[in-house]
Amino acid sequence: MSKTFWGDALPKRPKQKTNKFSNAGGFTSSLDGVRVDVRTDTKGSRYSIGNLEGTEFTRMKRYALMLTKWSHHDTAKHAKRWRVTQEAAEAANRVITNHLYQQVFLDDPTQDTINLTPYVNAYKQDFVTKDLITATLSLHGTKAMDTLMRQIHKDNPLAHEVLSDAIKTIDDTMDGRWHWIDYLHETDRRTARYASYCYESIANIIDNSDESYRRKRKGDKKGKGKTTKGTGDIKPGDSAKETFRANKRVVLPIDEYNDGGWERPYLAKHELELPHTGKKGRRLIPANEGKTPKMFYRMVSDPYKRIFQSKTTTPPRLRVLRWKMRLYGSETIR
């Protein structure tokens, strides 16, 4: 087998000034150690893979090949722009690569290339860190992820709940948008922005999963053995989900209710997805300055004689939301 890396045979990407991939050095024997850094400057991109023979190393070389094609360029720079960690941005590259690898090679990249024992032991001993959650979610879409989730469900139910929510959110976000990934190689920046949105969305979900785990774990510890005000005889420590709901919202149980095999009903005030300003849009209001006077009747009724008109401004958050809805669709985007 030639020592030339397969990535050198790829067609030139529009945003990449050079197509050279140099070896960054270092030997790796697992899929976690495969690294590809796609650059847009003249220094060229770099990769780290294992160069031995065998089925496992062939999988890692193919995986590195897919990373050179589908990794977002300048990950460190875009991670700052997306306000996420660089590890989360690299995990987003792996999530998309996992999906495309199985379509191209009809194979699972984690077969015999991933050792799940360190993952299992960390969750079992409750040594859950942000790096661990990020590394776990980077296996999304592989058989190793399914095996690991079954084991986490037994050892750490709270971590399993957080990871399950993150996986479902990623699937819902990318549902019907996988074809946007092809726009990563478009020369038109406006079209390529659709692909960047997919990478940014996955990176944000992965980066926020650790905060969600810390929040739920803190609420679980705080509610153990205590009764929350307004919850009657229900102890929030019974489940992490119940604790989070009791701590974050005003929950009023209906005590005069016969269970009869049904769940106990609650009256809860749900949070608004967007802050309500009381204004549906821009409207005209009187002003002291302007070009053309239009409210002459205010010369008599208004003590300040505001005969000009001006328009109210939309809050910045709503302006950004409306721009995203026009660009990415009419669905709700937080």
Is residue 48 included in any domain, yes or no?
Answer: yes
Question: Is 309 a residue whose pLDDT tops 80?
Answer: yes
What amino acid is encoded at 291 in this protein?
A: K
Verify that 63 and 149 share a domain, yes or no. Answer: yes
What amino acid is encoded at 245 in this protein?
A: R
- Categorize the per-residue pLDDT at 272 as very low, low, confident or very high, splitting at 50, 70 and 90: low
Strands 21-23 and 45-48: parallel
Rounded mean pLDDT, 168-174: 91
Verify that 127 and 202 share a domain, yes or no. Answer: yes
Q: How far apart are the first and last CA of the chain?
A: 49
- Categorize the per-residue pLDDT at 84 as very low, low, confident or very high, splitting at 50, 70 and 90: very high
**Which of 161, 181, 162 lies closest to 173, judged by CA?**
181
Is residue 148 included in any domain, yes or no?
Answer: yes
Verify that 27 and 134 share a domain, yes or no. Answer: yes
What amino acid is encoded at 126 in this protein?
A: D
Verify that 290 and 178 share a domain, yes or no. Answer: no
Verify that 176 and 244 share a domain, yes or no. Answer: no
Sheet bearing 35-37, strands edge to edge: 21-23, 45-48, 35-37
Buried b (16+ CB within 10 A) or exposed e, 170-207: beebbeeeeebbebbbeeeeeebebbbbbbbbbbbbbb
- Could you tell me what percent of the chain has a pLDDT over 70? 68
Choice between 310 and 151, residue whose per-residue pLDDT is larger: 151
- Categorize the per-residue pLDDT at 247 as very low, low, confident or very high, splitting at 50, 70 and 90: very low
263 secondary structure, DSSP code: P
Verify that 256 and 295 share a domain, yes or no. Answer: no
Q: Which residue has the tokens 């790829």?
A: 10
Is residue 334 included in any domain, yes or no?
Answer: no
Verify that 320 and 228 share a domain, yes or no. Answer: no
Question: Is 225 a residue whose pLDDT tops 70?
Answer: no
Rounded mean pLDDT, 260-267: 61
**Which of 13, 104, 96 lies closest to 59, judged by CA?**
104
**Which of 92, 144, 95 lies closest to 116, judged by CA?**
144
Question: Is 264 a residue whose pLDDT tops 80?
Answer: no
Question: Is 324 a residue whose pLDDT tops 90?
Answer: no
DSSP H/E element including 47? strand 45-48
What is the domain range of residue 14?
6-215
Verify that 188 and 312 share a domain, yes or no. Answer: no
DSSP H/E element including 165? helix 157-174
Average the pLDDT over each of 24-38, 52-66, 98-112, 261-275 and give the range with the smallest value.
Answer: 261-275
- Categorize the per-residue pLDDT at 278 as very low, low, confident or very high, splitting at 50, 70 and 90: low
**Which of 56, 55, 44, 142 lies closest to 91, judged by CA?**
142
Query: At how many degrees (to 10) do helices 117-124 and 130-137 cross?
Result: 140
| pLDDT at site 119 | 92
- Categorize the per-residue pLDDT at 7 as very low, low, confident or very high, splitting at 50, 70 and 90: very low
How far apart, in whole angstroms, are the C-alpha atoms of residue 244 and residue 223?
9
Strands 35-37 and 284-287: unpaired
Is residue 76 included in any domain, yes or no?
Answer: yes
Last residue of a domain, one of 154, 186, 215: 215
Residue 47 forms beta bridges with which residues? 23, 36
Choice between 249 and 38, residue whose per-residue pLDDT is larger: 38
- Could you tell me what percent of the chain has a pLDDT over 90? 26
Q: What is the pTM of this model?
A: 0.62
Verify that 232 and 211 share a domain, yes or no. Answer: no
Is residue 307 included in any domain, yes or no?
Answer: yes
Verify that 51 and 146 share a domain, yes or no. Answer: yes
- Whether the Cβ atoms of residue 23 and residue 37 lie closer than 8 Å to each other: no
- Whether the Cβ atoms of residue 66 and residue 98 lie closer than 8 Å to each other: no
Verify that 159 and 291 share a domain, yes or no. Answer: no
| pLDDT at site 176 | 87
Verify that 133 and 22 share a domain, yes or no. Answer: yes
Is residue 333 included in any domain, yes or no?
Answer: no
Is residue 74 included in any domain, yes or no?
Answer: yes
Question: Is 251 a residue whose pLDDT tops 60?
Answer: no
How far apart, in whole angstroms, are the C-alpha atoms of residue 197 and residue 199?
6
225 secondary structure, DSSP code: T
- Whether the Cβ atoms of residue 59 and residue 111 lie closer than 8 Å to each other: yes
| pLDDT at site 197 | 92
Average the pLDDT over each of 107-116, 219-228, 240-249, 251-260 and give the range with the smallest value.
Answer: 240-249
Is residue 1 included in any domain, yes or no?
Answer: no
pLDDT tens string 174-203? 998 888 988 888 888 888 899 999 999 999
- Split into its structural domains, the chain has a count of 3
Rounded mean pLDDT of the chain?
Answer: 77
How far apart, in whole angstroms, are the C-alpha atoms of residue 140 and residue 134?
10
Query: Could you tell me the sign of the dihedral formed by the alpha carbons of 326, 84, 334, 319, in that order?
Result: negative
| pLDDT at site 326 | 60
Question: Is 94 a residue whose pLDDT tops 80?
Answer: yes
